[in-house]
Structure 1
Amino acid sequence: MARLPVFALAGGVGIVLLVASPFGARFFDEMYFVDTGHHFAWGYADQPWLVPALAGMLDSLFPHSGLALRLPSTLAAVAGILVAALIARELGGRRTAQTLAAATYALSGYLIPASHFLSTYVLDPFWWLLISWLVLRWARLDREGTRDDRPLLWAGVVTAVALQTKFLVPVLWLGIGAGVLLAGPRRMLTRPPLWTGAALAAACTVPTVLWQAGHGWPFLRFVGSVEEESERALVAFGPVLFAGVIGTVFIVYALWRLARAPELRPYRFLGIAFAVVLLVITLVDGRSYYPSGLYGPLMAVAAVELERRNRRRWLPWVAWPGYALSAAAAVWTMLYFISTMDTYAGRQPVEPIAAAYRALPAETRARTAVVTSVYSGAASVDYYGAELGLPPAQSPHRGYWYLGAPPETADSILYVTTPRDLRMFEPYFARYRFVGASPALSVWFLEGRKQPWSSIWPQVRSDRPID
């Protein structure tokens, strides 16, 4: 193991993320995770329970601490760099290959900027990376004639955790299964520990599945919204956007070598798995970052092949400038997010809402609820509103609808919305007027409620895409 360069890379990224963690406003999804985590359930309309539970627990233990809230993402980023190097080692890579794999993964366009936030799209790619390492380890042992199926069982354990993070990991296994069937080693599919791990993953997901079934399978409605929000053409450009220039070159080179190199035949299923995953995500209009969990393994394959083919003469002259530029771009992107997030997701957008609320007469405020047309607005109000004198917010949008309607004592609402969504609540109130503006949204006061909330709330449920 190339301990010094690999641990230096992982430690450097970890320090950068830890130092940056307290800075910048919370991202919309982070605030949403915190709020839903404070209303724990075994499932939510748009995701499983693990990330909200983590966010709610960390916010309860360390209120409003960016360092604590973002620690899981930091740890996943650091561990992912180590696993990328381990994959290169598993494939026969020595010091140069392990260092290249770790550096290419660490300085991709995705890892550092995304890992500044706590999100499913940081943790889920790490589980994919870990599963890939375990499956490739099994394939390497099988190639050498060692009968050890424990990596397949551990892959099932990691899959169980991944299914509590996001419902995407079955697509990875679909790709691996197709790759193994087409290119081998087919013996993998006959090993009992593989299916024991699958059964364990399915059993651990039963509570979430029961929650979905008991609430009418809302996740299927959410998938429809994701399809409308996503651009199918962007999936093909995902590596360029999220792996970076060097990472994309490594991925293309790895796919080429997996298809041609005889020594990589036992691992050829990895290239097929990537193609299947890319195809499935394109067909269902998934988000462009969904395949990113397979970037690390492919980068490791490319690193091993570059070392094996002895490209040391020209590699340093290309690598050092390329990696230096990649590092600068990754850090700059993270700093850009930190510097601009306050405008859209920090306390600043909530202040006009609080000002409009405080301007109401005291007796009116006592019977006024704050409602937002999209979940992100409600998350912002709930996260920053208490210090500004706002009550907890409600929203009919996506997962927030399940957190409940305004109290029946609220016969008026302060509605934070777009002009299009004003029509959603207009029929249920006698009068409305404009009272303020927040970035990209307007604040309206609606009074004279005509029906009880128990009748209104089921009719205003919304799963629409975010503009």
Structure 2
Amino acid sequence: MPDPRGSVIPIVVIATLFGIAHMLTNGQYGFHRDEWQFLSDAQDLDWGFVPYPPLTAALELLGLKMFGLSLIGLRMFSVIAQSLVILASGLMARDLGGGRTAQIFAALAVGLSPVPMFEATEFQYSSFDMLWWVLIAWCVIRMLRDEEPRWWLAIGVLAGLGMQTKYSMAFFLVGVFVGVIATDARRHVASRWFWIGGVVAFLIFLPNLVWLIRHDFISYHFLQGIHARDVGQGRAHGFLRDQFLLNVNLFAAPVWLAGLYAYARDARYRMLAWMYGVPLLFMVLAQGRFYYICGVYPMLLSMGAVVCERWLRGQRAVSRKVITSVGFAGVIAIGIFAALRIVPIATSGPLRDYALKNNTDLREEIGWEELVTTVAAIRDALPVDQQAHLGIVVGNYGEYGSIALLGPRYRLPMPFTAVNTAWIRGYPTPSPTTNIVLGSSRERAEELFEGCRLAGHTANAWGVMNEESLDHPDIFVCGPARRPWSELWGHGPEFG
């Protein structure tokens, strides 16, 4: 009889089924505000962007060339990433000595956790960031299990890709380093493979580091500004609570806690506990948002699944079956509840209304096509001489990206804004004498431009209330800017 730990077919099937489910539902609404930013940055690829490193935009450019503006096609990369997260979770359980039950539970619990589920519904840099965290954890497990230092080379490659995806990878890498120094794994410091891995990671990250130096570490200032905003708006509240409610399937909380406790006491694998504890402590002290460390929980669930499976082996057959059945049923029930709130299952009826009521991210996918057609209609209503010298000034990256990508269908000029990387791209010359201004209050529009008048409103056919329709619904037609654009641009970028 083959060892059940050697068969990966069940977890491959689970990962594939989750991927298919997301592919079938990912075309329901529209692009999210954040996705428009990735799409617009992909049009002007560089080694860095104000909010993030370049890898996500590079993948978006590849997707655009392969699929065009296809929701399902472009989000396929996120689906693949999360399917690999599910697969790697089952593999971690297997490599820690878990049997089929542990492997299947780990894979299901990860796939049915809220944050991993969300990461497969949109094209987000956090989708790929999570993948690198999970793959690094898997490589560390293999390295510790097999006493094979050459795994540091793979860890270095993944660390470099992680730093080219999202800078929060640095916190996880600190956890890896502390885990090495604080445990018996410190023997790896004497291995050349440890240092080769570090050099490889640095070389992969180097192009973005050069870009950061050339741009005065603008991304660091962006992160400072966004963090201050998040703390001020209370977005960091409930950090510890949401580790249980959102980062992991709530019913599986006893499982990952058991795994953390058991492996913190295990001499061989104690490093894994440090890889969780250090990023967690950093984020608690820095008031980070809950999902910044979501990538570490698949490792904990895999550890816990193995621990619980071993404990169950010592129980009577009836108890073992009852506890196992309750565990799987509870995880599936919580997963279904999360899916109804997170996944865009329906485009009409009570399921759609329930999801839109409870999920602000889904609401931010609605109305972008209508916004662009509204701007085009306002342009078409202008006198010909005003259309000839027209600018479109936007207030956020969602407006910028949607008009930049959809505007050519309506012969709209490229929008411009001082928000994020668009600030680096500059402003049009010669300066427009007529401007359509959106994403701004009347007071702000009149402060920047002459002769503003209300010309329209942002709206959507579903009547969904989101940032566009609630916070700045008015669209203005204004005359020229009151001050030279060079002076306005001299204040530096706005962060959003």
TM-score (norm: length of structure 1): 0.91
Decide which moves more: 226-235 or 56-65.
226-235
Q: Deviations over 1:199-252 (max 9, x none)?
A: 111112222111111122111121113212253333212322121212433322
Query: Is 1:373 the counterpart of 2:395 in the alignment?
Result: yes
Q: Measure the CA separation in 1 of the matches of 2:448 and 2:289.
A: 36
The amino acid across from 2:197 in the alignment is G
Identity %: 25
Q: Measure the CA separation in 1 of the matches of 2:217 and 2:52.
A: 11
1:109 matched to which residue of 2? 114
Query: Is 1:457 the counterpart of 2:489 in the alignment?
Result: yes
Q: Measure the CA separation in 2 of the matches of 1:112 and 1:232.
A: 21
1:15 matched to which residue of 2? 20
1:293 matched to which residue of 2? 295
Q: Measure the CA separation in 1 of the matches of 2:214 and 2:413.
A: 29
1:226 matched to which residue of 2? 226
Q: Measure the CA separation in 2 of the matches of 1:361 and 1:433.
A: 15
2:276 matched to which residue of 1? 274
Is the CA contact 2:8–2:91 (under 8 Å) kept in the aligned structure 1?
no
Tell me: CA distance 1:428–1:313, structure 2 relative to 1, closer, same or farther (3 Å). Answer: closer
Is the CA contact 1:13–1:112 (under 8 Å) kept in the aligned structure 2?
no
The amino acid across from 1:59 in the alignment is L
Of the three residues 370, 385, 389, the one matched with 1:363 is: 385
1:145 matched to which residue of 2? none
Of the three residues 435, 443, 446, the one matched with 2:475 is: 443
Q: Measure the CA separation in 2 of the matches of 1:36 and 1:364.
A: 29
Q: Measure the CA separation in 1 of the matches of 2:394 and 2:88.
A: 42
What secondary structure does 1:393 align onto? coil
Is the CA contact 2:82–2:119 (under 8 Å) kept in the aligned structure 1?
no
1:179 matched to which residue of 2? 179
Decide which moves more: 71-80 or 181-190.
181-190
What secondary structure does 1:35 align onto? helix
Query: Is 1:382 the counterpart of 2:390 in the alignment?
Result: no
Q: Measure the CA separation in 2 of the matches of 1:113 and 1:345.
A: 20
2:464 matched to which residue of 1? none
The amino acid across from 1:161 in the alignment is L
1:411 matched to which residue of 2? 433
Of the three residues 301, 304, 321, the one matched with 1:302 is: 304
Tell me: CA distance 1:203–1:259, structure 2 relative to 1, closer, same or farther (3 Å). Answer: closer
The amino acid across from 1:347 in the alignment is E
Compute the displacement of 1:450 (Å): 4.0
1:400 matched to which residue of 2? 422
Q: Measure the CA separation in 1 of the matches of 2:378 and 2:449.
A: 19
Q: Measure the CA separation in 1 of the matches of 2:106 and 2:131.
A: 15
Q: Measure the CA separation in 1 of the matches of 2:427 and 2:249.
A: 44
Q: Measure the CA separation in 1 of the matches of 2:346 and 2:430.
A: 40
The amino acid across from 2:402 in the alignment is S
1:139 matched to which residue of 2? 144
Is the CA contact 1:180–1:186 (under 8 Å) kept in the aligned structure 2?
yes
Q: Measure the CA separation in 2 of the matches of 1:136 and 1:180.
A: 12
Compute the displacement of 1:45 (Å): 0.7
Is the CA contact 1:109–1:326 (under 8 Å) kept in the aligned structure 2?
no
Q: Measure the CA separation in 2 of the matches of 1:8 and 1:233.
A: 37
1:127 matched to which residue of 2? 132
2:461 matched to which residue of 1? none
Is the CA contact 2:161–2:205 (under 8 Å) kept in the aligned structure 1?
no
Tell me: CA distance 1:337–1:267, structure 2 relative to 1, closer, same or farther (3 Å). Answer: farther
Decide which moves more: 229-238 or 171-180.
229-238
Q: Deviations over 1:103-135 (max 9, x none)?
A: 111111122222111111111111000001111
2:323 matched to which residue of 1? 315
Is the CA contact 2:28–2:344 (under 8 Å) kept in the aligned structure 1?
no
Q: Measure the CA separation in 1 of the matches of 2:160 and 2:246.
A: 29
Of the three residues 441, 449, 456, the one matched with 1:429 is: 449
Q: Measure the CA separation in 2 of the matches of 1:419 and 1:62.
A: 37
Compute the displacement of 1:428 (Å): 4.4
TM-score (norm: length of structure 2): 0.86
Is the CA contact 1:226–1:286 (under 8 Å) kept in the aligned structure 2?
no
Compute the displacement of 1:196 (Å): 0.9
1:80 matched to which residue of 2? 85
The amino acid across from 1:436 in the alignment is G
Tell me: CA distance 1:392–1:60, structure 2 relative to 1, closer, same or farther (3 Å). Answer: farther
Decide which moves more: 391-400 or 308-317.
308-317
Q: Measure the CA separation in 1 of the matches of 2:457 and 2:54.
A: 34
1:188 matched to which residue of 2? 188
What secondary structure does 2:409 align onto? helix
Compute the displacement of 1:337 (Å): 9.2
Superposed CA RMSD: 2.2
Q: Deviations over 1:403-433 (max 9, x none)?
A: 221332412321112328x53x644433222
Decide which moves more: 426-435 or 269-278.
426-435
Structure 1 gap ranges (5+): 143-147
Q: Deviations over 1:304-334 (max 9, x none)?
A: 0011111623323312321331332243221
